[in-house]
Structure 1
């Protein structure tokens, strides 16, 4: 079907003006003059036969027709942007990475300076998310996730390291409740509500901790554990530095959870995501080799 569309430049000028609210701002974004934007919008109005803006020049407002057109153009330009990025392969520019928030803060960001030093031409843009990835819908180049197969369709999978989890608490509480954490508040998080249940299913150690306390985010729960407010189950990558520095203790050690940390990327490779995933695998190998989780200080009978 042949499409009868107005000038793309006119549509871009109008979309930027409507989105930003002023033609001067649209001119700055598109690197043209205010007069050029005004002419393109006027040309579009003449082509369509409707007014898209109303009011004085210094306080333009979208008409009903303008608001309708702007809504459709915004979605259309977003789709164009995703399609272009899906096939473009520039050597520099931005790389969009999706990653669970606490893993980003506790493991990725402390190491990211090494990638930036090696590749200053690449801007890594991080988005906190743990939801399932859909590369056909989402604009991410790489997504870091923890879980088990099957992984999303259309994704290449790079294994980073297996997950290990265990109870951690402040050293001041380490000897107070003994190996069963008797009377110590048991901390939970809404973002991983089965952490205690899953860990207890892996071992045959009875735990008789104190009252249940819930936190909205994993990071809040870890801060509470470090402040001596209770004991929580946490993955080794999240707490390895705190245990090494003596801010947290792990008297029952860590057990393999059966999940893996992986880097997912679009099946169609590009140079930026290849460089980033190769770097991630190197960092993961170094972490696994030099930061092994400590064994339990008390006997645990793991279930098989």
Structure 2
């Protein structure tokens, strides 16, 4: 710093500081220059603020496909309307984001709690992982099929749609209701949104999350034939994951707050200020 100041003084041909022992103070020329420098920095700050105010706040979201299609996308318009200037880039896939520069991802909504084995122990310690509440897994079908389904045993006479990547499947549900699941013989899908669509089209009965089926249940395309009759399975299916370094990002803070409101949860990022465990 001292070399830079001396170089500036040589360029100007004027002393900017008076050096008195270990202390320094501005000369008359130094005070004159300081007034202009302060105005210059003030204008620079105003310019930067104007650019930031006009620039869209980009949030790059990666999500499990069915959560993206069934839950997030139907609400996206409401999010963008509530948060002026927010720009969301949404990508869906079954792989967990690794949060590498090539991933182009700020936050990931994953199905199933991510294991440290996937990201690596060092990276996992630098991630924040938040559960997105519990989900109810129950039989769902088109209204036309519902009258014939009054007990869990009645399902044995119907085509059961298999969601092959679901963590809660028919054997677990039948066991919870005191029955043995039949051998799989219905259509199989690797995405929940496909199973829900098939059930709405009367291809059979799907065992799916009521959260993912909110639109179909609200519109009447799907119903819960055994509501208040069977033992539903409740579990935590989806998790929010992002690098600890992102927790102060304004777009992320807004997104997490919005998610919490929509899901009826308390997700407090201020409580995550401490170092990684």
Structure-1 residue corresponding to 2:158: 184
**Partner residue in 2 for 1:112:** 76
**Structure whose CA Rg is larger:** 2
2:104 matches 1:139: yes
Spell out the pairing of 1:33-112 with structure 2 (5 A cutoff). 92-112=56-76
- Name the CA shift for 1:210/1:143 in 2 (closer, same or farther; >3 Å): closer
1:3 aligned partner = none
Hey, what's the Cα distance between the residues in 1 that align with 2:133 and 2:167?
Answer: 22
Per the alignment, residue 255 of structure 1 pairs with 232
Offset from partner CA, 1:216-258 (integer Å, 9 cap, x none): 4332221110111101110111112322332212123473443
> Within 1, Cα distance between the matches of 2:238 and 2:192?
17
Distance 1:187 1:193, change over 3 A: farther
DSSP 3-state at the match of 1:191: coil
Alpha-carbon distance, 1:92 to partner = 3.3
**Structure 2 residue runs without a partner (length 5+):** 1-51, 266-277
Distance of aligned partners of 1:202 and 1:132 in 2 relative to their CA distance in 1, 3 Å threshold: farther
Q: CA deviation at 1:174?
A: 1.2
**CA pair 256-210 structure 1, distance change in 2 beyond 3 A:** closer
Long gaps (5+) in structure 1: 1-88, 287-304
1:240 equivalent to 2:214? Answer yes
Contact 2:96 2:108 in 1 (8 A): no
Deviations 1:71-119 (A, max 9, x none): xxxxxxxxxxxxxxxxxx9973421111111211211112122221122
1:199 to 162, 166, 173: 173
- Where 1:237 maps in the other structure, the secondary structure is coil
Deviation by residue 1:153-188 (Cα, 9 ceiling, x = unmatched): 122123321122111111111123542213211111
Give the corresponding residue for 2:89. Answer: 125
Q: Is the 8 A contact 2:133 2:236 kept in 1?
A: no
For 1:193-229, what per-residue CA distance to the aligned partner results, in whole angstroms no more than 9, with x for missing partners?
Answer: 8622333343324555983221343322211101111
Contact between 1:146 and 1:262, CA under 8 Å: does it hold in 2? yes
Query: Are the equivalent residues in 1 in contact too, given 2:139–2:225 (CA < 8 A)?
Result: yes
C-alpha distance in structure 1 between counterparts of 2:184 and 2:148, whole Å: 12
Scaled by the length of structure 1, what TM-score is found?
0.57
RMSD: 2.8
Q: Which structure is richer in relative contact order (CA contacts within 8 A, separation 6 or more)?
A: 2
Does the CA contact (< 8 Å) of 1:115 and 1:279 recur in 2? yes
Matched, 1:167 2:139: yes
TM-score (norm 2): 0.62
C-alpha deviation, 1:274, in angstroms: 1.4
